[in-house]
Amino acid sequence: MKNLTQVSYFTLSAYSDTGLFKYLYLIIIMFLYFFIIFANVLLIVVICVNRSLHEPMYIFLCSLFVNDLYGSTGLFPFLLVQILSDIHTVSVPFCFLQIFCVYSYGSVEYLNLAIMSYDRYLSICYPLQYNTRMTFNVVAILIAVIWLPPILVNFFTLPLIIPLQLCGNVINKVYCDYYSVVKLACYNTTLNNIYGLFVSALSVFGPLFLILYTYMRILKVCFSGSEQTRQKAISTCTPHLASLLNFSFGACFEILQSRFNMSSVPNILRIFLSVYFLACPPLFNPVMYGLKMSKIRSICKSLISNMVDRD
């Protein structure tokens, strides 16, 4: 038996020898990552520099784009290095840093989407009281709620895995994962399993309850309201629902894959679905909101046209 101080690295066994195809994968991943950076940074800048977008809905959107950059940066540069390398290993400190990054990203993303649904609920169900309820101070508090609790909760996962005595150092994934490290432990990990389930339930079911409640109220208003109210609800809620479903699909599969034996699923599909919640929302969100929200779309068009005219 050897403890964690004797384990200096983990081996990521999900990588396979792809020969010359690794350069094709490298180009694809680089293109995706650069697109994520460009699209999310563009919309962050558009929201920040235009006073007409300094509204709660767009501030929460800006927070979502920042988190998407944060989560994708915890994955894509690491994938690029691993694809180029012939030895797929990661140091213990970096592995723990990636675990913290991945899990805090997921928690912030879900909570951000829940707060956005609450914002839409106030806008649609209480339009006359919206400005008095969603004040600058309330928005600041909600932004703090989105970021601080997930970071603190996930920070406390590290003291639970650092002292673990490990009987191996092989992780069957393309990135580091909390439960994959826990499964390498030589002794009983009941506390780790309970804490992992508690954090997963807190990160998923708390925001999900708020989302379900707000959308039930929004649907009630839509069915009893005017055609204008229904159109407003559809235009503002469609991109949010699409983002929610997109992220929830990837997150749920990742939780299931971590907790249950998925050996019957082809390895390449497991790899794709394991990185889905880290890669697809950062790609999907800026495109969805950029196309669906008229204010952002018009400002982006004018910005791009001004750049073309200058050239």
Q: What is the pLDDT of residue 72?
A: 94
Q: What is the pLDDT of residue 2?
A: 43
List, in sequence order, every residue forming a beta bridge with 91; answer none if it has no partner. 9
> In whole angstroms, what is the distance from residue 295 CA to residue 288 CA?
13
User: How many residues are there in the chain?
Assistant: 311
pLDDT in tens, 64-115: 999 999 999 999 999 998 888 888 889 988 999 999 999 899 999 999 999 9
CA geometry: angle 259, 263, 264, nearest 5 deg? 120
User: Which residues fall within 8 angstroms of residue 150, CB to CB, at 6 or more apart?
Assistant: 104, 107, 108, 111, 203
**Residue that has been written with the tokens 């999310």 in this structure:** 40
Task: Write down the pLDDT at residue 308.
Answer: 62
Q: Backbone phi, then psi, for 17, in 5-degree steps?
A: -75, 110
Give the neighbor-by-neighbor strand order of the sheet with 89-91: 89-91, 9-12, 170-171
- Among candidates 83, 148, 90, which has minimal Cα distance to 115? 148
Identity of residue 135: T
Which pLDDT value is given to residue 44? 93
- Closest C-alpha to 207, from 102, 112, 140: 112
C-alpha distances (whole Å) from 171 to each of 51, 102, 199, 279 are: 48, 16, 21, 20
- Run of H or E residues at 128: none
Contact of 135 with 72, CB cutoff 8 Å: no
User: What is the pTM for the complete model shown?
Assistant: 0.90
Domain ranges of the chain: 2-310
| Burial class of residue 210, CB neighbours in 10 A (0-12, 13-18, 19+) | middle
Q: What is the 3-state secondary structure (H, E, C) of 136-173?
A: HHHHHHHHHHHHHHHHHHHHCCHHHHCCCEECCCEECC
Whether 184 and 166 have beta carbons less than 8 Å apart is answered as yes
Residues of the chain with pLDDT under 50: 1-5
Give me the amino acid identity at 261. N
Query: In the prediction, which pLDDT does 309 show?
Result: 61
Q: What is the CATH topology of the domain spanning 2-310?
A: Rhopdopsin 7-helix transmembrane proteins (1.20.1070)
Work out the end-to-end distance of the chain between its first and last CA atoms, rounded to an integer number of angstroms: 65
Q: Which long-range contacts (CB under 8 A, 24 or more apart) does 215-220 make?
A: 215/117, 215/121, 217/121, 217/125, 218/120, 218/121, 218/124, 218/125
